[in-house]
Amino acid sequence: MLLVIAWKNIWRNKVRSLIVMVSVMMGLWAGAFILAYVFGMINQRLEDAIGSEISHLQLHHPEFGVDYDPQFYLDNSQSIIEDIEASPMVDAVSGRVLVYGMVASPSTSTGGKLIGIDPEREDQVTQLASNVVEGEYLRTKDRYKIIVGKKLADKLKLKIRSKVVLTFQDVDGNIVAGAFRVKGIFRSYNSSLEDGNLYVNQNDMSALLKTNGQVHEIAVLMQSGETVNEYVSTLANRHPKALVESWKQLSPELGLMIDSLDQYMIIFFVIILLALSFGIVNTMLMTVLERVKEIGMLMAIGMNKIRLFGMIFWETIFMVLIAAPLGLLLAYINIHWLSIHGLDLSAIYQEGYAAYGFKPIIYPKLEAIYYYRIMILVIITAIVASIYPAITALRLDPVKAIRKI
């Protein structure tokens, strides 16, 4: 009986009910959206920061980092790469032959980090191909072609098809040299990469360095940033001879910043939750206020307080039950769409990173469990928010209440 009255009440004043329901829907949507956005952002920030250089984790010979001596390559590196690639947690993996050497053009010469790559794998890990602004990216069958940064190209006065000579020490300490033709010029937001990194095909480099097809560095991009630490220890166990380091170990400054930002996102999230709760509470308060006269009337005609409280309570429950699935659906559709198309923030960026081929696009993502959590949170907020006004209503003096305009 009470339930029927509550149900009918909802539709008696459609505008009022709609407001309550919409504010619950909004709350649900906002909560789910912000949470999805936070997750997407953390992921994106990590990818932006580590994407073009560090990757999620790297493997080296333990001695390699000391002085970048090329003789310290990873034994069995091809089988390590295959092993890593087989893991379902891994998105992409790239092996690199590395040596510090000289790069010379007719006009001048300078030092650089010479990187022998497998073009396809490297592109999967660092999106190198999309940073090539002039000429073309390397292909696996290219012989003695090189990709250089814009700044280096300017310094050495290089154009597409220019010849450069790379000189470095091989694993035995002999000085070796090779001539390479510029195939592409890349840009990077980080000018030191543009200045110092040169990319050539791994086979060419390997032959000159005599590393027997082994590599010095293996960079791994994970499916998700959350599994990095777990996978670092897995890899350390599986390949005890290699030094496995996560991006945080490789660049603690970056780790510090990203971790701090992630934590402070949580503060933001709490503030947003507060805002949505207050929105609902306020709307509920106003609703009861509007019904003072009606409630006074019901009390005057002898409805007891418990039943009255129950009625208001059930009204709230019904409204939330109608609004919650709708809100969830709205949030789901919205988040799902954005998770595919992304939320492009480039218009808000102050500086022109987009010029370097960087698109600050965030892909919000939310696992099912979080939808439920947000829903429960919002329902509890709505119910709690309805209790106070209901109690207030019960304290009303029926006579005064009726007289109220």
Partner 1 sequence: MYLILAWRNIWRNKRRTFITMASIVFAVLLAILLNSVKEGVLIKMQENVVSFYSGAIQVHKNGYWDEKTLDNSIAYSDSLITQLVNHEEVNVAIGRLESYALAASEKYTKVCMVVGIEPENETLVTSLDKKVIAGDYIRSEDESVLLSEGLAEYLKLTVGDTLVIIGQGYHGVSAAGKYPIKGVIKFASPQLNKTMVYLPMKLAQQLFDATNRLTALVLDIDDVSDADRIEKELTLTTSDEYEVMGWKVLLPELNQVLEGERAENVIFLFVLYMLIAFGIFGTVLMMTIERQYEFGVLIAIGMRNLKLSSVVVLENIMISVLGAIAGTMLSIPMIGYFYKFPIRISGDLEKAYENFGFEPIFYFSIAPKIFYSQTIVIFCIALVLSLYPLLKIARLKPVSAMRT
Partner 2 sequence: MISFRSIFINSMTLLTLMVAPCAYAQDAKEIIRKADEKRRGDVATASMTISIIRPSWSRDMSIKSWSKGTEYSLILVTSPARDKGTVFLKRDNEIWNWIPSIERSIKLPPSMMMQSWMGSDFTNDDLIKESSIVEDYTHSIVGDSIIMEREVHKIELIPKPDTPVVWGKIYSWIDKKEYIELRSELYDEDGYLVNEVKFLEIKPLGGRMLPSIMEYIPADEEGHKTVIKYHEVDYNARHGLDFFSLQNMKRVR
Tokens of 77: 């590196």
Q: Kindly identify the residues of this chain, within the stretch 15-34, that bind partner 1 according to CB under 8 A.
A: 15-16, 19-20, 22-23, 26-27, 30, 33-34
Task: Determine the length of the chain.
Answer: 405
Q: Is the dihedral of CA 278, 282, 283, 288 positive or negative?
A: positive
Here the contacts of 265-273 (C-beta below 8 Å, separation 24 or greater) are: 265/38, 265/41, 265/42, 266/38, 268/34, 268/38, 269/34, 269/35, 269/38, 272/30, 272/31, 272/34, 273/31, 273/377
- 203 binds partner 2, rule: CB under 8 A: no
Residue 134 DSSP label:
E
- 107 binds partner 1, rule: CB under 8 A: no
Smaller CB separation from partner 2, 42 or 207? 207
- 176 binds partner 2, rule: CB under 8 A: yes
Q: Helix %, strand %, coil % for the chain, to 5?
A: 60, 20, 25
Q: Count CB-CB contacts under 10 A for residue 256.
A: 11
Q: Kindly identify the residues of this chain, within the stretch 291-330, that bind partner 1 according to CB under 8 A.
A: none
- 357 binds partner 1, rule: CB under 8 A: no
Smaller CB separation from partner 1, 68 or 87? 68
What's the closest the beta carbon of residue 170 comes to partner 2, in angstroms? 9
What does 220 interact with, of partner 1, partner 2, none (CB < 5 to 8 A by kind)?
Answer: none
Which string of x and - marks every residue 148-187 that binds partner 1 (by CB under 8 A)? ---x---x--------------------------------
Q: b/e per residue, 345-358, with b = 16+ CB within 10 A?
A: eeeeeeeeeeebbb
Residue (of 248, 236, 213) closest to 83 by Cα position: 236
Among 79, 107, 212, 346, binds partner 2 (CB under 8 A): 107
Q: CA-CA distance, 361 to 30, in Å (whole number)?
A: 19
Residue 160 near residue 183 (C-beta atoms within 8 A) = yes
Among 135, 342, 357, 360, binds partner 1 (CB under 8 A): 360
- 173 binds partner 2, rule: CB under 8 A: yes
Chain centroid to Cα 8, Å, comes to 46
What does 353 interact with, of partner 2, partner 1, none (CB < 5 to 8 A by kind)?
Answer: partner 1
- 165 binds partner 2, rule: CB under 8 A: yes
- The span of 106-114, 188-196, 256-264, 297-305 binding partner 2 (CB under 8 A) equals 106-114
- 62 binds partner 2, rule: CB under 8 A: no
Among 80, 114, 115, 276, binds partner 1 (CB under 8 A): 276
- 151 binds partner 2, rule: CB under 8 A: no
Tokens of 42: 């953390």
Q: CA-CA distance, 298 to 307, in Å (whole number)?
A: 10
What does 23 interact with, of partner 1, partner 2, none (CB < 5 to 8 A by kind)?
Answer: partner 1
- 293 binds partner 2, rule: CB under 8 A: no
The residues of the shown chain that bind partner 2, judged by CB under 8 A, are: 67-70, 100-111, 144, 162-169, 172-179
